[in-house]
């Protein structure tokens, strides 16, 4: 994706010490951005830490009153309650927020943007001073669906996501590591606190709390966020989210009903031409998307593309992506660059 050139700007990374924050630091190091200043912020307990970036160590300051003064753009990698509290403070400091949490994603006056899919929506940032990035599942799905939508329209999507423990934070990563070590050494693991059940050598069909309709928060958000990014409010989406015993790397099995006929070969061509997508699809040679292939990649890997004979205009495909990089950090950094360019 080509980013609009911007003059030098100051950037704050809020939540710099978390998993997503560290992935953003890596993505910033790879991006061609001219930063006049990079300010790292985190909770008061992380104040005084130092993080390496571009060959130097930068100090981490506490997220305290006045922390965003003089900052042009802030990337928020924090829980939604922190984003809600600090969004208005950022605006008062004339700082535009690029938010990676779920705090603002579905608010009607906040643009929800995947740069390769609906970059024009970023113009709506002026309403609240906030632009939101979807969650990893919705980002991955939107990147794969957008070219199919352009080629043949979309009627219905059924998706099962396979989500790593990194999506639940550092405590969940530590829980999987501890449980796997215990089980490999014939010890029964102590109950974890980050996830509702043992995750090592197990699958947990719950990502987030359950709602009254039986869907989890993740399943409901995935459907709503995908519809908003694709500008398809009537799109029927059914999702099942499963936590799997992987540290990093996200996958999804997707079944699509298009509005018009679209062969598997035509679908592959549309996907190959789409930004942010790599087609990895040669089943005869056992070549297809896998989470281990997606880690540290800035694209969504798409494969197992085939026609679904059980319904008219049906397609099946399998996706893999790096949940921290492609699912979060890549989009956040690109949105920050675009916001900065529009401030000039």
* Same domain, residue pair 76 and 158: no
* Same domain, residue pair 107 and 62: yes
Strand 154-163 and strand 236-243: the pairing is parallel
* Same domain, residue pair 159 and 276: yes
The confidence score (pLDDT) of residue 146 equals 98
Residue 45 pLDDT level (bands cut at 50, 70, 90): confident
- Helix (H, G, I), strand (E, B), or coil: what is residue 318? strand
Asked whether residue 1 is domain-assigned, the answer is no
Tell whether the model's pLDDT for residue 278 goes beyond 70.
yes
Q: State the Cα–Cα distance between residues 43 and 61, nearest whole angstrom.
A: 8
Question: What percent of the chain shows pLDDT beyond 90?
Answer: 93
Question: What percent of the chain shows pLDDT beyond 70?
Answer: 98
Count of domains observed in the chain: 2
* Same domain, residue pair 128 and 180: no
Residue 128 pLDDT level (bands cut at 50, 70, 90): very high
Q: What is the pLDDT of residues 308-320, one digit of tens each?
A: 999 999 999 999 9
* Same domain, residue pair 187 and 275: yes
- Helix (H, G, I), strand (E, B), or coil: what is residue 173? helix
Q: Among 248, 252, 255, which residue's Cα sits nearest to residue 307?
A: 255
The CATH number for 200's domain is 3.30.360.10
Contact present, 218 and 241 (Cβ < 8 Å): yes
Alpha helices in 100-209 (DSSP H): 115-118, 125-128, 136-152, 170-184
Q: Among 89, 170, 169, which residue's Cα sits nearest to residue 130?
A: 89
Tell whether the model's pLDDT for residue 6 goes beyond 90.
no
The confidence score (pLDDT) of residue 262 equals 98
Strand 314-321 and strand 300-308: the pairing is antiparallel
Contact present, 237 and 223 (Cβ < 8 Å): yes
Per-residue pLDDT, averaged over 261-289, amounts to: 98
The confidence score (pLDDT) of residue 3 equals 52
* Same domain, residue pair 181 and 242: yes
Per-residue pLDDT, averaged over 94-118, amounts to: 97
Asked whether residue 20 is domain-assigned, the answer is yes
Asked whether residue 112 is domain-assigned, the answer is yes
The confidence score (pLDDT) of residue 343 equals 76
Q: What is the pLDDT of residues 177-201, one digit of tens each?
A: 999 999 999 999 999 999 999 999 9
The whole-model pTM stands at 0.94
Asked whether residue 215 is domain-assigned, the answer is yes
The whole domain housing 16 covers 9-133+328-343
Tell whether the model's pLDDT for residue 344 goes beyond 90.
no
* Same domain, residue pair 305 and 214: yes
Contact present, 20 and 100 (Cβ < 8 Å): yes
Q: State the Cα–Cα distance between residues 256 and 306, nearest whole angstrom.
A: 11
Mean pLDDT of the chain: 95
Tell whether the model's pLDDT for residue 208 goes beyond 70.
yes
Q: Among 280, 270, 284, which residue's Cα sits nearest to residue 300?
A: 280
What are the DSSP calls for 23-69, one per residue?
HHHHHHHHS---EEEEEEEE-GGGTT-EEEETTEEEEEEE--TTTTT
Asked whether residue 2 is domain-assigned, the answer is no
With vertex at residue 150, the alpha carbon angle to CA 149 and CA 154, rounded to the nearest 5 degrees, is: 20
* Same domain, residue pair 123 and 156: no
* Same domain, residue pair 187 and 272: yes
Q: How far is CA 4 from the centre of its chain?
A: 21
Q: Among 241, 235, 186, 159, which residue's Cα sits nearest to residue 208?
A: 241
* Same domain, residue pair 248 and 129: no
Q: State the Cα–Cα distance between residues 205 and 88, nearest whole angstrom.
A: 36
The CATH number for 333's domain is 3.40.50.720
Asked whether residue 75 is domain-assigned, the answer is yes
DSSP label of 3: P
- In this structure, what token pair is assigned to residue 293? 């292939």
* Same domain, residue pair 95 and 168: no
Radius of gyration of the chain (CA): 20
Q: What is the pLDDT of residues 129-138, one digit of tens each?
A: 999 999 999 9
Per-residue pLDDT, averaged over 116-145, amounts to: 97
Question: Taking the CA of residue 201 as centre, how many other CA atoms within 13 Å lie in the half-sphere pointing to its CB?
Answer: 9
Q: What is the pLDDT of residues 249-274, one digit of tens each?
A: 999 999 999 999 999 999 999 999 99
- In this structure, what token pair is assigned to residue 26? 């890596």
Asked whether residue 312 is domain-assigned, the answer is yes
* Same domain, residue pair 317 and 195: yes
The confidence score (pLDDT) of residue 236 equals 98
The confidence score (pLDDT) of residue 4 equals 53
Per-residue pLDDT, averaged over 159-182, amounts to: 96
- In this structure, what token pair is assigned to residue 191? 């109950």
**For the chain, what percentages of helix, strand and coil (3-state, to nearest 5) are there?**
35, 25, 40
């Amino acid at each position: 994706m080509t980013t609009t050139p911007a003059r030098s700007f100051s950037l704050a990374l809020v939540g710099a010490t978390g998993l997503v924050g560290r992935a953003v630091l890596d993505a910033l190091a790879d991006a061609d951005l001219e930063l006049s200043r990079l300010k790292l912020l985190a909770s008061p307990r992380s104040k005084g830490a130092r993080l390496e970036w571009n060959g130097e160590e930068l100090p981490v300051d506490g997220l305290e009153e006045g922390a965003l003064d003089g900052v042009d753009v802030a990337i928020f990698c924090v829980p939604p309650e922190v984003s809600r509290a600090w969004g208005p403070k950022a605006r008062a400091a004339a700082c535009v927020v690029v938010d990676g949490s779920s705090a603002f994603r579905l608010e009607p006056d906040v643009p929800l943007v995947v740069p390769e899919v609906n970059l024009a929506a970023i113009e709506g940032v002026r309403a609240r001073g906030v632009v939101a990035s979807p969650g990893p599942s919705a980002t991955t799905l939107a990147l794969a669906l957008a070219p199919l939508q352009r080629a043949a329209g979309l009627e219905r999507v059924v998706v099962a996501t396979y989500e790593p423990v990194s999506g639940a934070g550092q405590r969940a990563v530590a829980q999987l590591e501890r449980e796997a070590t215990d089980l490999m050494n014939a010890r029964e693991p102590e109950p974890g606190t980050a996830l509702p059940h043992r995750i090592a050598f197990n699958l947990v069909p719950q990502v987030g709390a359950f709602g009254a309709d039986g869907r989890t928060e993740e399943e409901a958000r995935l459907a709503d966020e995908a519809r908003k990014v694709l500008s398809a409010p009537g799109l029927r989406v059914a999702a099942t989210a499963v936590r799997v015993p992987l540290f990093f790397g996200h996958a999804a099995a997707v079944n699509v009903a298009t509005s018009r006929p679209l062969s598997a070969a035509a679908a592959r061509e549309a996907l190959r031409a789409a930004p942010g997508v790599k087609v990895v699809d040669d089943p005869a040679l056992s070549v297809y998307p896998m989470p281990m292939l997606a880690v540290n990649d800035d694209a969504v890997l798409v494969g197992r593309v085939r026609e679904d004979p059980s319904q008219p205009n049906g397609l099946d495909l399998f996706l893999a992506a790096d949940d921290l990089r492609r699912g979060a950090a890549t989009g956040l950094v690109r949105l920050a660059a675009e916001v900065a360019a529009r401030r000039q």
